[in-house]
Amino acid sequence: MTSSLPSPAYPLEKSRLDNGLRVVLAPDSTAPVVAVAVHYDVGFRSEPEGRTGFAHLFEHMMFQGSEHVGKAEHPKYVQAAGGIFNGSTHPDHTDYYELLPAGALELALFLEADRMRAPKITRENLDNQIAVVQEEIRVNVMNRPYGGFPWISLPPVAFDTFPNAHNGYGDFSELEASSLDDAEDFFDKFYAPGNAVLTVAGDFAVAEVAKLVERYFGDIAARAVPERRSFTEPVRAEERRSQFVDKLAPRPALAIGYRTPDPDTDLTAFLAHYLLTDVLTSGDASRLERRLVQHDRSVIGISSYVGTFGDPFDQRDPLLLTIEARHPAESSADTILGAIDEELDKIATDGLDAGELARVRARVASGLLREADDALGRALAFGAFELHRGRPETLNELPALLSEVTADAVAAAAAGLRAQGRSVLELQAGATA
């Protein structure tokens, strides 16, 4: 028996410009704000071998000025209008956005169109941003306890191919070897309008914004769009383990990676794995929280999630379901793994408790709705769903799709994790008291 979850009905208008740019318009007059997002179909997994970190480096380059916008002027214009801006690099896309008062919408469209047309790719800008990215790596990875754990350190254990296994933040020597030709080729190949999605969400009139989009983006020249690559790898039958020492970490940690079904070919099974993570670690009543934190006291904290950065819908196959735990030195990895195996076996054999699935589904659905409640969250979600699935309306459909996932499907997901060869990464603490 399935339960019904409330579903949003956000209005959508889709179109495509002659140059190939896909446009998603999502009007909403409940607040006088507007969000503009541009998603490009390029991320860590698309960057060339020998240039690790280049997708993220190029994200930085896109803020260094463009044809009609000087260096550092993009942030200045947005902030002067009372808005915020940013960009981020993911395994399978790079996004850029502005959130502004509704009256500043035209400004955001101009800024995004100008850098889609001609960012300032110069040796000075490239060298400057290589240094910025290197400093970011020092701060966020090299000089921080658990830096890059496990999003950088688990993929080499879980995967065999360069696109899936390499460090998306980048190797210093490979970043330093980046040339202007590399940057120009990367822009020409991946930043074509036909390889992008423009999303506008918020308080606007569709007909007026459609004209503005055509005015600012319509004359950007069309370019060839790269064929979307498949990064698929076989699911391993054998377990693989690795260890490393984090000299700054005060206590050990453990990350376990499992492959999930392909969300494009088996969305129901994929959503069952997504719900399983909530069954395992969300809230005091979750299985691993009760077993490992409250009862055994073998771990200090535990979490589980689907996707590199915990968003199950921002990348394509192959994805990992990750269980991450930090634990006292006296708790062995094998003891923790054994307890996790037992809990997965219980779900696979005995199923879920009465009311457990309904509670989990409601919590997951409410979280999705909360993330999409504001214009920016909606613009980013619609853009990602259009880019990856070709269906921005998936955001409206998700609660109903979650309602269709049965307890048997969640049990089957747990059984599927146990049947495959997991990837285990042990972080050994090196910090001294």
pLDDT at 418 over 50: yes
Q: Which two tokens stand for residue 23?
A: 């446009």
pLDDT at residue 35, as a whole number:
98
List CB contacts of 197: < 8 A, sequence separation 6 or more. 21, 22, 23, 24, 38, 39, 383, 386, 387
> Beta-carbon neighbour count of residue 304 at 10 Å?
23
pLDDT tens readout for residues 235-266 = 999 999 999 999 999 999 999 999 999 999 99
Average pLDDT over residues 352-378: 93
- Dmax (CA) of the chain: 65
pLDDT at 105 over 60: yes
Decide if 254 contacts 336 (C-beta within 8 A).
yes
Helices (H) and strands (E) in the chain, counts: 16, 11
**% of the chain beyond a pLDDT of 70:** 98
* pLDDT band (50, 70, 90) for residue 6: confident
Which of 228, 241, 306 is CA-nearest to residue 267?
306
Average pLDDT over residues 347-358: 95
Decide if 263 contacts 350 (C-beta within 8 A).
no
Average pLDDT over residues 376-401: 96
pLDDT at residue 7, as a whole number:
82
Query: What is the architecture of the domain spanning 240-429?
Result: 2-Layer Sandwich (3.30)
Measure the CA dihedral 398/193/51/170, to 10°.
Answer: -40
List CB contacts of 58: < 8 A, sequence separation 6 or more. 94, 183, 186, 187
Residue type, 304: S
The residues pairing with 34 across neighbouring beta strands, listed in sequence order, are 100, 202
Output the DSSP codes for 37-48. EEEES--GGGSP
Start-end ranges of CATH 3.30.830.10 in the chain?
A: 13-217, 240-429
Mean pLDDT taken over the chain: 95
pLDDT at residue 395, as a whole number:
94
pLDDT at residue 433, as a whole number:
52
pTM: 0.96
Query: Nearest 5°: CA angle at 14, between 12 and 18?
Result: 160
pLDDT at 2 over 90: no
Q: How many CA atoms lie within 13 A of 407 on its CB side?
A: 16
Which of 145, 122, 14, 19 is CA-nearest to residue 67?
122
CA torsion sign for 78, 83, 84, 85 is: negative
CATH of domain 13-217: 3.30.830.10
* pLDDT band (50, 70, 90) for residue 326: very high
Q: What 3-state DSSP class applies to 350? A: helix
pLDDT at 341 over 60: yes
pLDDT tens readout for residues 139-183 = 999 999 999 999 999 999 999 999 999 999 999 999 999 999 999
Residue type, 181: D
Q: How far is CA 12 from CA 27, 108, 376, 395, 416, in A?
A: 7, 20, 15, 11, 37
pLDDT at 207 over 60: yes
pLDDT at 13 over 70: yes
Residue type, 236: R
Output the DSSP codes for 246-287. ETT-SS-EEEEEEE---TTT-HHHHHHHHHHHHHHHSSTTSH
**% of the chain beyond a pLDDT of 90:** 95
List CB contacts of 397: < 8 A, sequence separation 6 or more. 7
pLDDT at residue 8, as a whole number:
87
Residues 208 and 83: their CA atoms lie apart, in Å, by 21
pLDDT at residue 1, as a whole number:
42
Residues 177 and 206: their CA atoms lie apart, in Å, by 45
